[in-house]
Amino acid sequence: MRRFAMTDYGEAPAVFKEISAEPREVTAGHIRVAIKAFGINPYDVALRSGKMKEVRTLKFPYVPGNDGAGIVTETSADVDSVKIGDRVVIHTVGGTYGEEVVMPAAKAAKIPEKMSWAEAAGMVTTGLTAYNLLNHLLDLQPTDTVMVQGASGGVGASLLQLLHEKGIRVLASASKKNEEKVRKLGVSEFTAYDETDPAEKFENQADVVIDATKGSIQGETGIRIMKEGGRYIALNELPDLALRQKKEGFYESYVPRKEYQDKEAFSGLLHAYEKGLFTIPIAEELPATLDHVIWAHQQLEGHPPAGKIVLLNK
Ligand SMILES: NC(=O)c1ccc[n+]([C@@H]2O[C@H](COP(=O)([O-])OP(=O)(O)OC[C@H]3O[C@@H](n4cnc5c(N)ncnc54)[C@H](OP(=O)(O)O)[C@@H]3O)[C@@H](O)[C@H]2O)c1
């Protein structure tokens, strides 16, 4: 079975190798999935670069990838949530960069017929993050205004659509070139951060600010947009204490928690998808080759076009 593995921390061309791995046994509560598509995340890039090695030390060779979609080919006897032949979306702790993964059944959900492999693989980390943030971390009121920075990104686009479904007023910022794409996802007002500082337009207007920019780099602007005593969520590290001390508020860095159930979140996202209220912007769908794995990582190190990069197995 073919997989794409990191052999060390470092630059993508130097450390990624194609390896051949033996199939693993399917133990209780687990399923085997033939992977049809896997998505690439900024998280994979951070893992590979070694930036996270203090908090997450890897053993090499390490096959990355938390997001995928495929067909169930084997289940343990105690699994009844999915069956052999089901098309599923999957959320794993690594291992989707390849042809097959053995994983807990609880982390897979059956997908609708009309959903493509790329859409399914492209909705995992981004969609689960947006869903859990809105449904478990925040307790939004119908009268709240929410500011989403990084609105054109995978998480940002998911947040916009789920907020729109809840009928919440949304302010958004992204680059000018992505304005049309973002507006279509149901925002009330938009500012291009590369033309105007969003804080000039939205100062003190949001009950909740979510910094979903890559690396959460819009802190100072976000704090200005938050109302006094409001809530500020960063997907990465929070802005410096000195900045936070300038305005009273509840500051929190989002971290996925064990109690968040993928089954519930997938069900919510897939329900919205079936109603036509949740789309998954895809930037690239390419064959799953070593060259494309490396290319995708290099793209994510820069400033790629909006939408997920998804690699497809034959
Ligand atoms: N804590 C968690 O559990 C968790 C979960 C998922 C993601 N994340 C993190 O959240 C971040 C977003 O993830 P994603 O998958 O949505 O990434 P993404 O699809 O690459 O989106 C990145 C966003 O950042 C914006 N951006 C890039 N450069 C910018 C700049 N200089 N100024 C302002 N905005 C800029 C982009 O806007 P334009 O392209 O329009 O410029 C885009 O909207 C990443 O850092 C990721 O690692 C954390």
Which whole-number Å values give the CA distances from 227 to 137, 210, 242, 309, in the listed order? Answer: 19, 13, 18, 35
Q: Which of 110, 102, 199 is nearest to 147 (CA)?
A: 199
The ligand 1 atom nearest the CA atom of 125: 6
How many angstroms is it from 187 CA to the middle of ligand 1? Answer: 18
Write out pLDDT tens, residues 18-74: 999 999 999 999 999 999 999 999 999 999 999 999 999 999 999 999 999 999 999
Beta partners for residue 275, in sequence order: none
Question: Do residues 233 and 213 lie in contact, with contact meaning Cβ atoms separated by under 8 Å?
Answer: no
**Tell me, what's the pLDDT at 87?**
98
The ligand 1 atom nearest the CA atom of 152: 43
Write out pLDDT tens, residues 172-217: 999 999 999 999 998 999 999 999 999 999 999 999 999 999 999 9
Kindly indicate the confidence band of residue 225, based on its pLDDT and cuts at 50, 70 and 90.
very high
Ligand 1 lining (C-beta closer than 6 Å): 41-43, 125-126, 129, 150-156, 174-175, 178, 193, 212-215, 217-218, 235-236, 254-256, 303, 306
How many angstroms is it from 91 CA to the middle of ligand 1? Answer: 20
Q: Quote the DSSP letter at residue 136.
A: I
> Region 96-121: what's the mean pLDDT?
98
**Tell me, what's the pLDDT at 2?**
97
**Tell me, what's the pLDDT at 313?**
98
Q: How many CA atoms lie within 13 A of 237 on its CB side?
A: 5
Write out pLDDT tens, residues 285-307: 999 999 999 999 999 999 999 99
Q: How many CB atoms lie within 10 A of CB 117?
A: 22
How many angstroms is it from 238 CA to the middle of ligand 1? Answer: 14
Kindly indicate the confidence band of residue 282, based on its pLDDT and cuts at 50, 70 and 90.
very high
How many angstroms is it from 71 CA to the middle of ligand 1? Answer: 30
**Tell me, what's the pLDDT at 249?**
98
3-state helix, strand, coil in the chain (%, to 5): 30, 30, 40
C-beta pairs of 223-230 under 8 Å, 24+ apart in sequence: 223/247, 223/249, 224/199, 225/147, 225/171, 225/198, 225/199, 226/147, 228/204, 230/206
Residue whose CA is at the smallest distance from ligand 1 atom 48: 235
User: Which of helix, strand or coil describes residue 164?
Assistant: helix
What is the crossing angle of helices 124-132 and 262-274, to 10°? 100
The ligand 1 atom nearest the CA atom of 182: 40
**Tell me, what's the pLDDT at 18?**
98
How many angstroms is it from 46 CA to the middle of ligand 1? Answer: 13
